[in-house]
Amino acid sequence: MTDVKATPERSGGAKDTVTITVDGKQIEAKPGELLIQAAEEGGVYIPRFCWHKRMDPVGACRMCLVDVEGSPPIPGTQSRRPQTACTTVVREGMVVHTQFTSDEANEAQKTILELLLINHPLDCPICDRGGECPLQDQTQDYGPAESRYTQQKRRYVKPVPISPLINLDRERCILCYRCTRFCEELSGDVLISTMQRGPEAFIFPFYKDPETNGHDAAVRGPLSGDINETFDSYFSGNTVQICPVGALTSTGYRFKARPWDMQNTESVCNLCASGCSIYAGVRVQDGNVARINAATNEDTNEEWLCDKGRYGNEYISSSERITQPWLRRDDALVPITWDEAFRELADKLAPVLAGDSDAGMIVGGHLCDEDYYAAQKFARVVLRTNNIDFRTEPGPSADAVVAPGVTYDDVLGSDLVVVVGTDLREELPLLFLRMRIAASKRGLPIALVHPRAVSLSEHAQLHVRALPGAVPQEITQALRGKERPIVLLGSRACSSEAVAAWNATGARIAWLPRRAGVTGALASGAHPDLLPGWRRITDDGDAADIANAWHVPVPAKAGLDVPGMLAAASSDLGVLWLVGADLSDVPGGNEALDKARYVVVQDVQNCSAVDHADLILPAATFVERDGTLTDWEGRRQQVNAAVDPPGSARADYAILAEAARRLGRPIGCRTHVQVKDELDGLLDGRTSIGAATQRAPEPPRNSDGLRLLTYRLLYDDGARLRASEGIRELTPRPFAEINTADAERLHVTDGANVKIASARGSITVSAKVTDKIAEGVVFVPWSQWGVGGHQLVSWDDQNPTLVVEAVS
Amino acid sequence: MTDTRVLSEDFYTRAKQIVARYPVARSALIMLLHDAQDEVGYVDDDVIREVGSVLGLTPADVEGVATFYTMFKRRHPGKFLISLCTNMSCTINGADETAAALRDAVGPEHETTSDGVCSWESVECLATCHWAVAAQVNYLDIPYLTPDRATKLVSDLKAGRDLDEILSELRAAKSLQEAKSG
Amino acid sequence: MAEETLVVLKRREMSEPWSFQTFVDSGGYQAIRKAVTEMTPEEVIKLVQDSGLRGRGGAGMGTGLKWSLIPKDSPKARYVVCNGDEGEPGAFHDRELMETDPHALIEGMLCAAYAIGARHCFIYCRGEFILARDRLAKAIQEAYDNNYLGENIMGTTFSCDMVLHRGAGAYICGEETALLESLEGYRGMPRPRPPFPVTEGLYASPTVVNNVQSLQAAGQVILNGAEWYRRWGTEKSPGTLVCSVSGAVNNPRNVEVPLGTSVADVLELCGGVDDRGLKAFAPGGWSTPMLPPDKLDATMDYEGMVAAGSVLGASSIIAVPNDMCIVRAVWRGSKFYSHESCGKCTPCREGTYWVERILEDIEHGRADERDLERLEAVNNGMSGFKSLCALAEFAAGPVGSSIVHFREEYEEHIRLKACPHQMQAVAS
Ligand SMILES: Cc1cc2nc3c(=O)[nH]c(=O)nc-3n(C[C@H](O)[C@H](O)[C@H](O)COP(=O)(O)O)c2cc1C
Ligand code: SF4
Ligand code: FES
């Protein structure tokens, strides 16, 4: 639907406000603004169902009818034609009477409400939306007590699971088109549409040919709901949240709780670095997180979430949670108390503390800032080592670190955004969504460097199909003369050479971490070569700052990075401590753990590392503790405890602080506020870091046969995600995407199996033959159902040369 | 890939030409659906997918459009689809009786005879009210479809008579009176 | 006794009037030649405005006025779209005009295109009209072949392309904004107005949407002048009008008469009401409020019909015979509206659904007095311009007017718990 756009230019006037009168009240409105919004901002709420301020108005539900002076008359009456406030653009001097002051408007709205209820099932007592349903509320406020109509209402099979995550109950639908407009205008995933027409119209995904499934759909009417394609969109959950009735409901939440049973805690999602504000809804009776909804935050997620953030949190209440410490004794894990755990630690760390042995810490990507800070301080102050790292996947070396500073607003207001080496929809879904909206609604100029046609390709003005690392001339040229150019570097495009080359274009650069904690990890110094506050360990002044703050010297010896620690785990490292780090699909991870001398696993739930653990420490999830999270922009936002941790689990920073105290080398802060304050002091004003060395980057060559491209899809084998059944069902099977010409040469056919081998290993997956990927490149997702690119790469070669063979 | 398509190479060639006529490709959607339906007989799942792929539209999008318009059939009608106008002028002049005759001769609306030859539907005003009771066979106009003429039409179609012949015979009548008196 | 006045139907009796040859032999393509070679676009618009020609699609807006509303300074492309989606119950004049005189439509559109500066024209032809499609397609080809379409038409700097587009079975696509949605490849659901198509129409660009007859008449006006056209009709409704006449008449057909001709005279031109006698008539297609026989002297023009309590609409008279049950007729009509409602807006989607159901109950003797009240309530609810487009008004018209004029027939159904006409039919 391409309806009225509330663009400012429509009104034309140069004045920056127009004055209108609503129910006798003078309201200053913005030129081009819609009456419904202007009135609301001025304190007069006009009821509505279809209108949503982030989408173009459709004027469909007609609930917002008001009386506007000067409208044409209704022939044969004294009245004027009512107008929909949601499609009426304010005009200077406009005089409006709403339901509060006009009998006609009031009557019109009542009529609409009654008509809406005519076919509505009124099954409120069993409806998930009951208690927070605009239709219910309006009926209570204005509506008739009972329906005057006795004839047969529309009937549909109810509910239809239109995806593993979402149910659709068509009887309740009032056809406001919010869901379909969301998909069409905002997410771009047109996977549900209005089907049929008139009173028989309904919202549905692509459904099965009635010829083959025996339904009588040529005659309009209820279909049983056999579908061809599920509503498989990363953003589908938003449609549930904006549905004004209970037509779309979340499978996971269905019948779990009623709105009035729920306590909502505002927090931040920690499943990626987008920094989305959320409400964690906790059912008071059992203290379980019943649902996650988007909270409104104009700076970050507006009011949207991706489905991973919304539905990917079932691990929190899963049976796989670790709820107490465990110790491996004679090859079996036995439950122990915290006290025993700390004594065990003291025992095992004694040689380390004595300086006779070394230790290392690998931290995961989903921790809070305070956890990273506590961990690196623990490493440096207690273990006296710089062996701490979060980079279980490609991440920047100290000379390639770009301190954050670019914001959503900067990106959306740029005159050219270059996105290098990242598939944003898979990595930062909300940044993708907001850029997509800006591109499709306002033509935000975008250029891409990526070998595949990825999520933003259809909106890109320029797309250079090169492997990460390349700095194509077309793009650097396009950046010339731009006033607000921005380059967004994906996590795989952050070599120091690339950073230097992009820096040279004069554009502002942002580095896009995929995981929620990474910016915090960098800022906190959870990196062998970095200290808190973006300080470099090799900089004497920086090191002295920290030593002064801590009253302890910073260890001088260079620290090991993740591959370094994995290699040393069987030799130099007496203890390898994993804090929320899952190494199951990290190259060499399982092998290293297998041979490691002693492994501490500190985590929220069972993961493959547990099989190798000597000591297990139970950690709290992000909804069970307070803290801060720093998103890709560098924006630090508050994470709030919504529930208590299960069993004796504790926040990561608290475990580390307590361990330090027990080990006799306290890290000086125990509560999250203390940790935060200390970190704040060291971060103060420090957001920049020296420019990277200026070297021409070496673009990876495609000429020597096929090269691998691999990265994580949004739905992958992530340990936490595995607990969310719906998402699991939607998780793609492993595949290899290969260019048509390459496929032809290698006799690979679409859908058939191919064997893909690198120097490190080989896998067999099904082939997707397409022109959407550059010639000479084969894309294999990092890790899907146990198989993926992680089996082919090595630490120093993320784009290995491949041998591809058709498998018969 | 090409071998699994249900639409012919010709379709894809024509589709290119049709799309080229419009300033915006999507405008060609209805024309392409007509064209594809003419080839396949109805808009089946594959037609939806393939037409969508020509224009870069999702199947749900295309299905939403296809099911809005009554001429697009999601089920295979008979080889001959009889559309009987039952709107006002035709009702005034006996459309209900003709509908009953078709029900007897063909079966319930939208169902196809077992030989696959015929199906019928009642439709809205065909803009041939002066020919009431108005009808069409495969969208070719028929004037004055009295019950007797409807019955004969069905048996002629089932007997495999030439459609042009049947039509010119039916069109020979110059008024409802004449058609009624045979 | 009134006479037919053939202006837009002037070629109807010629042999093969649809052929290029017949068309040019009878003065075809002289209007566009005159416009392009002798007139500025502004002069063309002014001439059409002076003629007083009003749109024949239903709303009766001045055709020249509409053309003049195309913004002069818009940098966007402009479009001319012909509304050939005729679907109003009882209307069949546009179909005849497209089938018999396709070149006249092309010429009218060319004049409009020249007047507003459009490079592209679209004919939205109703999907079920196969003959019209074929004749239009052939005519367009002939016009291209003879340089009346394409680049540098008639050797001038004026260039214009024309695309024939088909509908696919949706009455609502006759509504101009639904038509544009459909032409853009979407479900044919109306858009809120404003903005009107003249400022944001096809592809959000300035667009003139005109009815077939309006465009053909405009061609005649440009060729013969405003005064010539004003010889017919009334001051406010000048010119001639094609009326479709059907139902209980002896010789149902299209007749072209000056605006202002009485319904009685128009019926007379069609051989008069047949021997079933007249119970009521809809003057502008079923969507216009029906009138009782004592309104037969109402005149077929915009003002005359409003004065009589109806509207001119699609100028299509349906004569309802005495032996027709009014409830049955209105019920049948209500099925049409619920079937053809696009479903976008609440009053129409829910209202048409419920009206149909209540009428069905009344007709089948399943209703009580409260159902008649309910019927009126829903009907009032869906009317009064609460809906997005006029279809809901159209749907409410026959119901409301029939209750006004034939209330006792409704009450009789309720009293008898059956349809009196059916009872009679069974009895005889
Ligand atoms: C439900 C509905 C159906 C309509 N159907 C037609 C139609 O079939 N043909 C037509 O020309 N106008 C139809 N109209 C009127 C058009 O919206 C529009 O006013 C007309 O095409 C403008 O042309 P004109 O100015 O030449 O009359 C319809 C309007 C509505 C609300
Ligand atoms: S009035 Fe009816 S046809 Fe018009 S927009 Fe509303 S639902 Fe659609
Ligand atoms: S809110 Fe205005 S029509 Fe729905």
Q: What is the pLDDT of residue C245?
A: 98
Interval C45-55 mean pLDDT: 98
**Spatial contact of A448 and A463, defined as CB atoms under 8 Å apart:** yes
Interval C248-268 mean pLDDT: 97
A476 CB-near residues (< 8 Å, 6+ apart): A505
Would the CB atoms of C185 and B128 count as touching at under 8 Å? no
Q: Give the pLDDT confidence of C18-39 residue by residue, as tens digits.
A: 999 999 999 999 999 999 999 9
In the predicted structure, residue C342 carries a pLDDT above the cut 90: yes
Q: Give the pLDDT confidence of A164-188 residue by residue, as tens digits.
A: 999 999 889 999 999 999 999 999 9
Q: Give the pLDDT confidence of A29-60 residue by residue, as tens digits.
A: 999 999 999 999 999 999 999 999 999 999 99
Instruction: Please state, rounded to an integer, the average pLDDT across all residues of chain C.
Output: 96
Interval A590-596 mean pLDDT: 94
Would the CB atoms of B27 and C183 count as touching at under 8 Å? yes
Q: What is the pLDDT of residue A393?
A: 87
**Contact residues on chain B for A206, CB-CB shorter than 8 A:** 45, 48, 58-60, 63
CA distance C68 to chain A (A): 20
Would the CB atoms of A114 and C357 count as touching at under 8 Å? no
According to DSSP, the β-strands at A636-639 and A627-630 are antiparallel
A30 CB-near residues (< 8 Å, 6+ apart): A8, A16, A17, A18, A38, A90
Interval A320-334 mean pLDDT: 94
Q: What is the pLDDT of residue A211?
A: 63
Q: How confident is the model at residue A694 (pLDDT cuts 50, 70, 90)?
A: very low
Q: Determine the Cα–Cα distance for residues C254 and C266; give it in Å rounded to an integer.
A: 10
Interval A762-789 mean pLDDT: 96
Q: CB of C398 within 8 Å of any CB in chain B?
A: no
Domains of chain B, CATH where assigned: 9-68 (1.10.10.1590), 80-181 (3.40.30.10)
Q: Point out the least confidently predicted range of A7-21, A428-442, C104-118.
A: A7-21
Q: What is the DSSP letter of C262?
A: B
Q: What is the pLDDT of residue A1?
A: 42
Interval A294-320 mean pLDDT: 95
- Which residues on neighbouring strands pair with residue A34, listed in sequence order? A89
Q: Determine the Cα–Cα distance for residues B177 and C101; give it in Å rounded to an integer.
A: 29
Q: What is the pLDDT of residue A256?
A: 66
> What SS3 state is found at A94?
coil
- Closest Cα to atom 30, ligand 1: which residue? C175
Q: CB of A148 within 8 Å of any CB in chain C?
A: yes
For chain C, how are helix, strand and coil distributed in percent, rounded to 5? Answer: 50, 15, 35
Would the CB atoms of C182 and B127 count as touching at under 8 Å? no
Q: Is the sign of the CA dihedral C114, C115, C121, C125 positive or negative?
A: negative
- Residues of chain B with pLDDT below 50 are 1-2
Q: What is the pLDDT of residue A224?
A: 59
Annotate A124-135 with three-state secondary structure: HHHCCCCCCCHH
Instruction: Please state, rounded to an integer, the average pLDDT across all residues of chain A.
Output: 90
| Ligand 3 cavity residues, CB under 6 Å | A 48-51, 59-64, 84, 86
Q: Is the CB–ligand 2 distance for residue C172 below 6 Å?
A: yes
Q: Determine the Cα–Cα distance for residues A522 and A519; give it in Å rounded to an integer.
A: 5
Find the CB nearest B75 among A207, A218, A229.
A218
Atom of ligand 2 nearest to the CA of C393: 1
In the predicted structure, residue A688 carries a pLDDT above the cut 60: no
Q: Residue type at A461?
A: Q
How many beta carbons lie within 10 A of that of residue C277, not counting itself?
12
Q: What is the pLDDT of residue A427?
A: 95
DSSP codes, A316-378 = GGSTTB--S-EEEETTEEEE--HHHHHHHHHHHHHHHHTTSSEEEEEE-SS--HHHHHHHHHI
In the predicted structure, residue C88 carries a pLDDT above the cut 80: yes
Q: How confident is the model at residue A137 (pLDDT cuts 50, 70, 90)?
A: confident
Question: What is the token pair recorded at B143?
Answer: 């004037």
- Closest Cα to atom 5, ligand 1: which residue? C174
Q: Give the pLDDT confidence of A655-682 residue by residue, as tens digits.
A: 999 999 999 999 988 888 999 999 999 9
Interval C227-235 mean pLDDT: 97
DSSP codes, B25-83 = GGGGHHHHHHHHHHHHSS--HHHHHHHHHHHT--HHHHHHHHTTSTTS-SS---SEEEE
Q: What percent of chain A has pLDDT over 90?
A: 75
- Closest Cα to atom 7, ligand 1: which residue? C174
ipTM of model = 0.96
Q: What is the pLDDT of residue C426?
A: 77
B176 φ, ψ (degrees, to nearest 5): -60, -40
The enclosing H or E element of C33 equals: helix C30-38
Interval A489-496 mean pLDDT: 86
**Contact residues on chain B for A228, CB-CB shorter than 8 A:** 45, 59
Which ligand number lies closest to the CA of residue C123? 1
Interval A648-657 mean pLDDT: 97
Q: What is the pLDDT of residue A7?
A: 44
Question: What is the token pair recorded at A803?
Answer: 């041998």
Q: Give the pLDDT confidence of C156-213 residue by residue, as tens digits.
A: 999 999 999 999 999 999 999 999 999 999 999 999 999 999 999 999 999 999 999 9
A313 vs C423, more confident: A313
**Spatial contact of C65 and C49, defined as CB atoms under 8 Å apart:** yes
Q: CB of A74 within 8 Å of any CB in chain C?
A: yes
Chain C residues 231-250 within an 8 A CB cutoff of chain B: 244-248
In the predicted structure, residue A704 carries a pLDDT above the cut 60: no
Q: Give the pLDDT confidence of A375-429 residue by residue, as tens digits.
A: 999 999 999 999 999 999 888 888 888 888 899 999 999 999 999 999 999 999 9
Q: Point out the least confidently predicted range of A550-554, A719-723, B144-148, C247-251.
A: A719-723
Find the CB nearest B29 among C87, C126, C185.
C185
